[in-house]
Amino acid sequence: MFRNLTLTLALASAATLALANPQATIADLDSRLKQIGAPKVEGTDTVAGKTVPAMFFGDRKLNNNYDVVDAIRRAHGATATIFVKDGEEFVRVSTNVLTPEGKRGIGTQLARNAAYANIVKGQSYCGPIDVLGTAFDACYNPIKNAKGDVIGITYVGHKK
């Protein structure tokens, strides 16, 4: 019986580690978005009282739409965010990250951190990060339009 319990715990631990893999989680997020359609910015929209570019995948606007990020939380237990590029900043337009007040952190900007430095060069970032005061193992991928310009970011994080 002890042997079966040890094997069960080992399998459960391995499954938890697989679920907490930021690289696998961001691959799932990016795949889900790709299935919706090609990314583009078209017009503007209001997010948390701010006017920002409207981020689309295919015909589906992601600003103020939480279906995909909430699906990532259900599937992986992870935080997930879609950012749109607004000038030199990246603004959260869809997220399951909550503020200390318990509201979605939309309308807030990506901090000027290691992820920001990589993204502006068109590169991904995976590693430790602080998101609104909480430590995460995270991955950020640039969202590029058909011309190859960075127009946004996908993010996922697993709490440390």
- CATH class as words, domain 2-159: alpha beta
The mean pLDDT of the chain is: 88
Residue recorded with tokens 């996908």: 154
Q: For residues 38-63, give the mean pLDDT.
A: 98
Residue 98's pLDDT band, with cuts at 50, 70 and 90, is confident
Q: What is the pLDDT of residue 132?
A: 66
In the chain, where the domains are located: 2-159
What whole-number distance in Å separates Cα of residue 100 and Cα of residue 104? 9
Paired tokens of 55: 């981020």
Quick one: which of 98, 89, 84, 93 has its CA closest to 157?
A: 98
Task: Tell me the pTM.
Answer: 0.86
Residues 101-116 have a mean pLDDT of 92
Q: Span 44-64, mean pLDDT?
A: 98
Q: What is the pLDDT of residue 4?
A: 43
